[in-house]
Each structure stands twice: as C-alpha cells, then as structure tokens.
C-alpha cells in the first residue's frame, strides 16, 4: 500500500508525500486532525476509514495532493423555490476562486434552503430545522472552515445558530439585496411596498388591473428584499458582529459584480482564518460582539424579527447565553438613535444604503457607542478594523446614514414593553409607527381569538370597532400557530380603512415582517396558547393601556378577575379533553404528534428566549418551556 502512494508521481511533486505515506502506516495513528483526515466515519479502524473516504472522493477526480490541503466547506442554499438565493451558484464559483487562490480546497455541500413565501406554515417553523441541518453537516463533514451562504430572512439566523453550536471557523456570505422596482415612476421595494399597495387595494384606492401590474414590479431581480426587512437587518447585524467585510459585505446588491468580489474575498478569508488563533465562533464572538450587534439593530431601525433571532443566536453561545436578554435590547435602544433612512422606518432602499457607504459608514458613525475591543473575522479588533478602513464620503452619505446629532429618530427604534399582559416582555418597532399618538394610548380591545376568527370578522360592517380600539390577535405565538406567523400586522378593518384610518394600535403574540410598518406590539410572552397567559384571557371591551415612555402594557383588570378567567379557561380546556389525567386536549395532541411538527411543538421555547428548541440552546433542554401550554 505504501508503494501505491509513493508511485503517485503528481502527489510526490505537489503534495505532502510524507503525510500521504503515513496515511498507510498502520503502526501510527492518523497524523492529522484537519481536512480530509478529520472527523473520520466510524468503522472501528481509522486507517480503513480514511482509505475508504479517499476511495470515494477520488471518484470525483481529486488527487492525493489536492486532498492534503485544508478543506473549506461552502454551504449551498440554492433552491428553485428561493429567488432570494438565485445567485448562489455564481457565489459558489467566486468563493472557490478565493479558496483555491489561497491554497485551500473548496468543497460545496447543500443544506435546506428556506424562502419566506414558499414555506408552510411559516419559514420560522423551519428555522430551527435549518439550524440543526447546518450544525450537524458542519460537524459531520471534514471541513476546516465553512463559508455559509445565506440571505433570505431565516437562513442567516439559522446558519449563525448552527455555526456557533458546531463551533468550527465560519464566514457568513450574504446573497445580497435585490434592486428596487418602479411603479409609474415611483421606486418600490419588496416588501414594504407589497404591503402598502395591498392596503390601498383593500381600501379600494387601487383597482385590480393596477394591483396586477404592481405585482410584476415589486421584485425586479433576484436577491433579498430591498428594504430594511429581516434579511437586510440580519445582514447588517452579521457585520455588526464582526463577521463581514464592512464596505460591501452586508449591502452589495445580489446582481452586482461587487457581490461576486465579496464572495471571492470570503473564500480567501476562510483560508486565512485557519492561520489565526481562536477563530471558532465561540472564541471569536464575545458579549461585546453581541452588544455591538444590538446597537446596529437599533441604529438601522431593524426588523423586530431580528430580536427573536439574536436571542436565539446568543443563547447558542455557552459564555454569552443568559447574559443578554430583552431588557438589554431596550437599554441599548435608549442610548442609540435611528440613523439609517430606509423603508419601512424611512424612505430609501438597500441599494441607496450601499451607495452611501453601507455598514462602513454606519460603523464609523456609531463608533462612540460601540465596543471597539470586540474581535472581527480579520483578527483585528473592531477599532483596528475601522482605523484601517477609513470612510471619507460623509458629505454624500449623510442623506442616508445620519449623524449622531441629526438622527432620523432620537432613540429606541425598538422598544421592549412589560406589564401584566406580557410579564416576559413584548416588542414594538416604535420608529415604524404611522401615528405617533398611539404610542401613548388607552383603548378598548377588539379581540380575535385566532387568524380564522379574524379572517371571518375583520371586514364585517358589524364589527364593533373604532379607530381608537386596540386590535388583538391571539393564537399566533410559537406554539399556538406553529412557526409564529408574521400575522401581527393585523389589517385595518375595511370600514375604517375606507374612512382613511391608516394605523391603529395592534397587539399579538405573533411576529411581523421586517418590511412592515404601523403601531404594532408583537411577541407577547408568554403567548396566549399558554394556559397561564394573561394575554390569553383578554376579552373584547377590556381596556388596555400602552405607555411607551414607561415601557408598559397593561390590561386594566383586577388581579382577582384575571385569576378567575385563567382558572375558568383551564377548566374548559381540561373538560374538553376528558382524558389523560386532566391534561388539556391540545397538550395531549402535541405530545402525541409525530415528526418534525411534534418535535417543534414540544420543544420550542418562547419569543423572549428566541423560539429555539430548548435542547439546542447552550443551556440545554427544558429552559423556558411551560408545561401548561395548550
Ligand atoms: Fe427573502 Fe424577503 S422574501 S428576503
């Protein structure tokens, strides 16, 4: 066998012939823990495992020499159901070019791909599945570092969650935003304008013919939604974490040559990371990295979804989990102005942000508020990275990236509320409110028990609602409607919309698209499906007070009445089941359900913890899960 290796003349010429020979030296252990020789499949004989691995990979034409290089995995999330990832094949080629030019061996492999509009019941339902897929494929395969290509809303969070848990060096690569479209000369961006045009259609201001032609224009190219939605937010946050090149990494459009150069550089960076110490994500990322990411989230007026995702990502990190919670988001918000003028909080698109200097301009502007000692992918601290990548074009940039002294919104773009109705917290993007009077508001609840109830009654002329009412939608929390749908943007009842009412205070235990706007309170925790939830017993006609200044959300009901309603609700649920030692019917269903849906419903934790599966968090199973969910 040793002769076979020695007879391979190209290996001797180019590769590490000693190491190749040692692969067949049965008297010695395999002498490397990297590249092809790492993570061997278990057959009880390590040399045979390596021999077999080489047999199969040589079927693809690789030489021993190539196989002695460090292996850079490239996660391929191309799918014909995912237009936000339509450029992934070109990105993979560019990453490969960068890896090969740096002396690595690029090997791409697939994981699942999730697109918002093609995932039922929701893409959020599948985020944890993608995180598991990502983690286990990174862990299982012989890769020394990994370039993770993601873009659409849930893909980047899933990859960061999985990458941190797998704890091999990772370089995220964002697919990039789409270009804006144009409707009768007006620039439009998915999906803020998808929603605004649909609202006009519902109100009768746009006819069928026009809405059909708008449909053709809202997503004119591949790439992620072109406003500050969840995808763009997560891209900017990833740069804030120190994992992306600042000038173009988060913002270069999907269809540009700049995006391909970002990809090539990601390949080079992945190889370079192998020569730097402590670049595994659990070493590279610290509490300060995450505080910087939250500062970025507040400064960009980012998506409320990113709060859930960041909490899930943070809770994957053994040293940071539990040190940052919803209160931290609010504390940072109070010190951080909204600086980036993008839809839905402002007026512009991601391409404008990129042209204005993107994250490089923003990070220089935010410098006084950032933890400059946080490390970055380049082995520089954030402070060193900013020192070595100056930004000089602020004269133009300030139209989009405001200064700290001239913000778009003075502070607290995202606020966290607490109160008897949400003891574990709720989130609101205050900067996206279209009627700021509603930020301090007392009104009477108009309750929909679930989405079916809402669909049936919201447009009824008999609905008992005024513009001062507070619309409540229950049962769209993590368990109540698996995947916590983005139904929190409760539509304005048609009869009010036709009177010109454009915004109302709306409250739910669900999520809202990052591209949407309005005065909307989300992520009520615990959700209404929890039988102890106060939100679950709100009735039409109850008064609710929202006070953004005090950060409170209160159901004006005596505690005695609240306790009585909760007890009655539990009794009803148990009565319904009639079996299983008094367990509620829904509890029994959930615990008997097979497959991923069963796993999801049993294991997902609440929004204030990130909606991860308890057993995937750094703390392990059981944290934050209520036995009494319906
Ligand atoms: Fe993919 Fe918006 S649908 S980013």
**pLDDT tens for each residue of 313-323:** 999 999 999 99
CA 303–ligand 1 middle distance (angstroms): 12
Q: DSSP of 120-188, one letter per residue?
A: SS-HHHHHHHHHHHHHHHHHHS--SEEEEEE-STTHHHHHHHHHHHHTS-EEEEE--BPPPEEETTEEE
Please, which pLDDT band fits residue 195 given cuts at 50, 70 and 90?
confident
Distance of CA 591 to the CA centre of its chain: 28
Question: So what's the pLDDT on residue 234?
Answer: 98
228 lines ligand 1 (CB under 6 A): no
Distance between Cα 153 and ligand 1 center (Å): 6
User: Does the residue 583 lie in any domain?
Assistant: no
Same structural domain, 382 and 511: no
Query: Which atom in ligand 1 lies closest to the alpha carbon of residue 190?
Result: 2
How far is it, in rounded angstroms, from Cα 435 to Cα 502? Answer: 8
pLDDT at 591: 77
Mean pLDDT (whole number) for 323-333? 97
Are 190 and 313 in a shared domain?
no
- Cβ(516) – ligand 1 distance below 6 Å: no
Rounded distance, CA 576 to CA 579, Å? 9
- Domain-embedded: residue 609: no
| Residue 267 Cβ contacting ligand 1 at under 6 Å | no
In the predicted model, is pLDDT for residue 1 greater than 60? no
> What pLDDT sits at residue 11?
39
Instruction: Give the closest residue to 523 by CA, choosing from 310, 266, 296.
Output: 310
Find out whether 317 and 164 touch, Cβ atoms under 8 Å.
yes
Instruction: Say whether both 156 and 126 belong to one domain.
Output: yes
Taking the C-alpha atoms of residue 486 and residue 207, their distance in angstroms, rounded to an integer, is 26
Q: 257 alpha carbon to ligand 1 midpoint, in Å?
A: 21
Q: What is the 458 CA–ligand 1 centroid distance (Å)? A: 27
Average pLDDT for 274-280: 95
Residue 573 lies in a domain: no
- Interacting residues of 122 by C-beta distance below 8 A, sequence separation 6+: 482, 483, 484, 485, 486
Number of structural domains found in the chain: 4
- Cβ neighbours of 47 (radius 10 Å): 18
Q: Is 115 in the pocket of ligand 1 (CB under 6 A)?
A: yes
Q: Is 231 in the pocket of ligand 1 (CB under 6 A)?
A: yes
For residue 627, is pLDDT > 60? no
* Dist CA 330 CA 326 (whole Å): 7
Kindly give the pairing relationship between strand 105-110 and strand 71-76.
parallel
State the pLDDT at residue 118. Answer: 95
For β-strands 506-508 and 181-183, DSSP reports them as unpaired
Segment 352-379 shows an average pLDDT of 97
Mean per-residue pLDDT, 212-219: 93
Residue 581 resides in a domain: no
Task: Kindly state the DSSP code that residue 263 receives in the 8-state scheme.
Answer: H
| Other beta carbons less than 10 A from residue 154's beta carbon | 29
In whole angstroms, what separates CA 2 from the centre of its chain?
50
Asked whether residue 159 falls in the same domain as residue 267, the answer is yes
Residues 530, 519 share a domain: yes
CB-ligand 1 contact for 153 (6 Å cutoff): yes
Among 67, 88, 117, residue at a domain's last position? 67
Beta bridge partners of 77: none
Q: How far is the CA of 430 from the centre of ligand 1 (A)?
A: 22
Establish whether residue 152 lines the binding site of ligand 1, counting it when its CB lies within 6 angstroms of any ligand atom. Answer: yes
pLDDT at 108 over 90: yes
Task: Using the mean position of ligand 1's atoms as its centre, give its distance from the Cα of residue 71 in Å.
Answer: 31
* Domain-terminating residue out of 42, 67, 92: 67
pLDDT in tens, 435-459: 999 999 999 999 999 999 999 999 9
| 252 and 119 in a common domain | yes
Q: What's the pLDDT at 393?
A: 83
Percent with pLDDT over 90 in the chain: 81
Q: Is 147 in the pocket of ligand 1 (CB under 6 A)?
A: no
Query: Is residue 14 over pLDDT 50?
Result: no
Q: Which domain holds residue 54?
A: 2-67
The predicted model gives 396-422 an average pLDDT of 94
Q: In this structure, how many other beta carbons lie within 10 angstroms of the beta carbon of residue 264?
A: 18
Q: Average pLDDT in the 87-93 region?
A: 98
pLDDT in tens, 229-253: 999 999 999 999 999 999 999 999 9
**Residue of 87, 115, 123, 130 best suited for mutating to test ligand 1, as the one with most atoms within 8 Å of CB:** 115
Ligand 1, closest atom to CA 117? Answer: 3
Distance in Å, CA 485 to ligand 1 centroid: 15
Q: Are residues 348 and 292 in the same domain?
A: yes
| CATH code of the domain covering residue 515 | 3.50.30.80
Same domain, 211 and 227: no
53/104 same-domain check: no
Per-residue model confidence as pLDDT tens digits over 525-565: 999 999 999 999 999 999 999 999 999 999 999 999 999 99
Ligand 1 contacts CB of residue 96 (under 6 A): no
- Determine the atom of ligand 1 nearest the C-alpha atom of 224: 4
User: DSSP 3-state assignment of 530?
Assistant: strand
With a 6 A CB cut-off, is 297 part of the ligand 1 pocket? no
pLDDT-based confidence at 48, cuts 50/70/90? Answer: very high
Q: What is the mean pLDDT of residues 488-497?
A: 92
Residue 583's pLDDT band (boundaries 50, 70, 90)?
low
- Reduce the secondary structure of 199-261 to three states and give it as a string: HHHHCCCCCHHHHHHHHHHCCCCCCECCCCCHHHHHHHHHHHCCCCCCCCCCCCCCCCHHHHH
Nearest Cα residue to atom 2 of ligand 1? 225
Q: How far is the CA of 120 from the centre of ligand 1 (A)?
A: 15
| Protein residue with its CA nearest to atom 1 in ligand 1 | 152
**Percentage of the chain with pLDDT > 70?**
94
Q: Is the CB of 486 under 6 A from ligand 1?
A: no
Best residue among 114, 119, 153 to mutate for probing ligand 1's pocket (most ligand atoms within 8 Å of CB) is: 153
Token code pair at residue 104? 């690595």
pLDDT reading at 52 higher than 90: yes
- How do beta strands 520-522 and 422-429 pair? antiparallel
627 assigned to some structural domain: no
Q: What is the pLDDT of residue 476?
A: 96
On the question of pLDDT at 620 being above 90, the answer is no
Asked if residue 189 has its Cβ within 6 Å of ligand 1, the reply is no
Strand arrangement, sheet containing 145-150: 105-110, 71-76, 145-150, 170-174
607 CA distance to ligand 1 middle (Å): 21
- 3-state SS, residue 447: strand
Based on the domain organization, do 365 and 431 belong to the same domain? Answer: no
225 lines ligand 1 (CB under 6 A): yes
Q: Is residue 452 part of a domain?
A: yes
Strand partners, 555: 544
Most confident of 22-36, 137-151, 399-413, 480-494: 137-151
Instruction: Judge whether 82 lies within some domain.
Output: yes
- Indicate whether 211 pLDDT > 60: yes
* Residue range 43-69: mean pLDDT, rounded: 94
Ligand 1 atom nearest to CA at 231: 4
β-bridge partners, 506: 471, 520
Which of 77, 88, 116 has the most ligand 1 atoms within 8 A of CB, as the residue to mutate? Answer: 116
pLDDT of amino acid 3 = 43
To test the ligand 1 pocket, which listed residue (231, 250, 344, 515) has its Cβ within 8 A of the most ligand atoms?
Answer: 231
Mark whether 229 and 312 lie in a shared domain: yes
296 in Cβ contact with 367 (< 8 Å):
no
Q: Ligand 1 mean position to 581 CA, how many Å? A: 45
Mean pLDDT value across residues 42-68: 94
Give yes or no for residue 84 CB within 6 A of ligand 1: yes
In a domain, 351, yes or no: yes
- Cα–ligand 1 centroid distance for 155 (angstroms): 10
Q: Do residues 271 and 345 share a domain?
A: yes
> What is the reported pLDDT for 10?
45
Binning pLDDT at 50, 70 and 90, where does residue 623 land? low
Please tell me if the CB atom of residue 229 comes closer than 6 angstroms to any atom of ligand 1.
yes
Q: Show the tokens assigned to 259.
A: 């995006």
Please tell me the distance between residue 181's alpha carbon and the centre of ligand 1 in angstroms: 15
Last residue of a domain, one of 189, 205, 220: 220
Whole-number mean pLDDT of the chain?
92
**Strand pairing of 422-429 and 470-473?**
unpaired
């Amino acid at each position: 066998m040793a002769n076979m290796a020695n007879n391979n003349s190209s290996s001797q010429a180019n590769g590490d012939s000693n190491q190749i020979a040692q692969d067949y030296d049965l008297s010695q252990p395999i002498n490397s823990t990297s590249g092809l020789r790492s993570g061997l499949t278990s057959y009880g004989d390590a040399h045979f495992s390596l021999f077999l691995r080489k047999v199969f990979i040589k079927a693809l034409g690789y030489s021993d020499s190539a196989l002695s290089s460090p292996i850079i995995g490239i996660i391929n999330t191309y799918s014909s159901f995912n237009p936000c990832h339509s450029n992934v094949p070109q990105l993979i080629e560019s990453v490969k070019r960068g890896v090969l030019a740096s002396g690595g061996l690029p090997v791409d492999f697939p994981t699942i791909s999730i697109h918002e509009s093609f995932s039922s019941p929701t893409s959020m339902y599948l985020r944890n599945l993608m995180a598991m897929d990502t983690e286990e494929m990174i862990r299982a395969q012989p890769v020394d570092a990994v370039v993770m290509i993601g873009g659409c809303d849930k893909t980047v969070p899933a990859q960061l969650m999985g990458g941190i848990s797998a704890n091999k060096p990772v370089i995220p690569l964002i697919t990039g935003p789409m270009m804006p479209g144009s409707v009768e000369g007006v620039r439009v961006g998915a999906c803020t304008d998808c929603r605004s045009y649909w609202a006009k259609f519902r109100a009768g201001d746009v006819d069928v013919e026009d809405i059909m032609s708008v449909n053709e224009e809202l997503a004119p190219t591949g790439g992620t939604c072109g406003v500050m939605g969840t995808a763009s937010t997560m891209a900017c946050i990833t740069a804030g974490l120190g994992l992306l090149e600042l000038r173009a990494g988060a913002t270069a459009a999907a269809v540009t040559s700049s995006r391909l150069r970002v990809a090539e550089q990601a390949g080079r960076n992945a190889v370079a990371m192998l020569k730097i110490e402590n670049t595994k994500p659990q070493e590279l990322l610290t509490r300060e990295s995450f505080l910087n990411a939250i500062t970025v989230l507040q400064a960009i007026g980012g998506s409320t979804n990113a709060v859930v995702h960041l909490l899930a990502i943070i809770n994957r990190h053994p040293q940071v989990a539990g040190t940052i919670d919803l209160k931290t988001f609010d504390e940072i918000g109070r010190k951080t102005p909204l600086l980036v003028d993008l839809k839905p909080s402002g007026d512009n698109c991601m391409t404008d942000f990129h042209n204005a200097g993107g994250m490089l301009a923003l990070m220089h502007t935010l410098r006084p508020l950032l933890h400059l000692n946080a490390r970055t992918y380049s082995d520089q601290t954030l402070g060193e990275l900013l020192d070595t990548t100056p930004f000089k074009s602020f004269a133009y940039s300030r139209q989009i990236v405001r200064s700290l002294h001239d913000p778009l919104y003075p502070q607290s773009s995202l606020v966290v509320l607490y109160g008897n109705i949400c003891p574990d917290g709720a989130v609101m993007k205050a900067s996206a409110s279209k009627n700021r009077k509603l930020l301090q508001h007392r009104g009477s609840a108009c309750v929909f028990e679930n989405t079916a109830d809402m669909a049936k009654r919201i447009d009824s002329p008999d609905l008992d609602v005024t513009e001062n009412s507070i619309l409540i939608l229950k049962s769209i929390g993590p368990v109540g409607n698996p995947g916590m749908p983005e139904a929190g943007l409760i539509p304005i009842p048609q009869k009010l919309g036709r009177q010109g009412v454009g915004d109302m205070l709306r409250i739910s235990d669900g999520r809202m698209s990052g591209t949407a706007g309005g005065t909307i309170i989300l992520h009520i925790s615990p959700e209404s499906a929890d039988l102890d939830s106060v939100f679950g017993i709100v009735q039409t006609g109850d008064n609710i007070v929202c006070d953004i200044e005090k950060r409170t959300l209160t159901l004006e009901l005596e505690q005695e009445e609240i306790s009585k309603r909760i007890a009655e609700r539990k009794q009803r649920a148990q009565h319904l089941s009639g079996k299983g030692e008094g367990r509620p019917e829904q509890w029994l269903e959930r615990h008997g359900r097979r497959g991923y849906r069963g796993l999801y419903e049993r294991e997902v934790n609440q929004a204030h913890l990130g909606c991860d599966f308890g057993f995937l968090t750094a703390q392990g199973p059981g944290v934050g899960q209520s036995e009494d969910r319906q």
